[in-house]
Amino acid sequence: MKARKLFPSKSPVLICYIVPGYPSYDESLELTKMLIKGGVDAIEIGVPFSDPIADGKTIQRASYYALKNGINIIKVLEFAKSIRNDFDLPLYIMSYLNPILKFGMKNFAKRLSDISINGSIIVDLPIDYFDEWYNLSNEYELETVLLCSPSTDNLRIKLIDEKATGFIYLVSIYGITGIRETYPKYTYDFIRRIRNETNKPLVVGFGVSKALHAKSFIECGVNGVVMGSAILNFLEMHDKNSIDKILDLVKEIKESLLLAHKL
């Protein structure tokens, strides 16, 4: 099945992050399908990694158990293919660079193209690899999604603006992933600064867990948000109503995004 493009989208988007194999392969597959049916706009599929330096305790634990359950980059690609066979919504593979280098960058790009994945988000991609990944993405018709944080210098921001063909992923804080109550002033200053520097679609992640977060980010000019730890946190509680709570949160954030967009 051919993938839909995420952008240009007339409305702000909600991307949900999941870890194949957590709590189990079948449960994560079912959760992903329910999220899609529940109205999310795209899925970010995480490759579990033993040293996820950008991730907080919730995603670290999910990655640990996924690895224990035998999930690797090959299994993640099989998982993505299974989703793609049933749905045409945008899918992105999120990974650290090390598993991709071990798999082979060209081989990875080809496999993504073969199963109609929109693109990959490589969390720790250094400038030295920008051109190689950018050229492979162009060769295999993949979107490049690059990360930009409050500490990103102007030279790198310019390069990110030039090389991002999908969207720019804004890391909202200094630090790691994990649900938050509030964001500091520098987060909003950073978002406004990047909005003034580029016309590319902007999506904010790291800590999004409330409708108020989504609303405030849209008001700063972004095009969407990523939610991950909030979903995994519900699963971690082992509550029989976890899935219902996740879907309620998805609905709440989607409504907030749309309402903020209309204001």
> Among all residues, which ones are annotated catalytic?
44, 55
Residues 27 and 202: their CA atoms lie apart, in Å, by: 31
Amino acid (one-letter) located at 56: G
Are the C-beta atoms of residues 124 and 96 closer than 8 Å to each other? yes
Sign of CA dihedral 236, 119, 100, 81: positive
Are the C-beta atoms of residues 9 and 203 closer than 8 Å to each other? no
Residues 7 and 22: their CA atoms lie apart, in Å, by: 29
Amino acid (one-letter) located at 42: A
Per DSSP, helices labelled H in the chain are 25-37, 57-68, 73-86, 97-103, 105-114, 127-139, 154-163, 185-197, 211-219, 229-236, 242-262
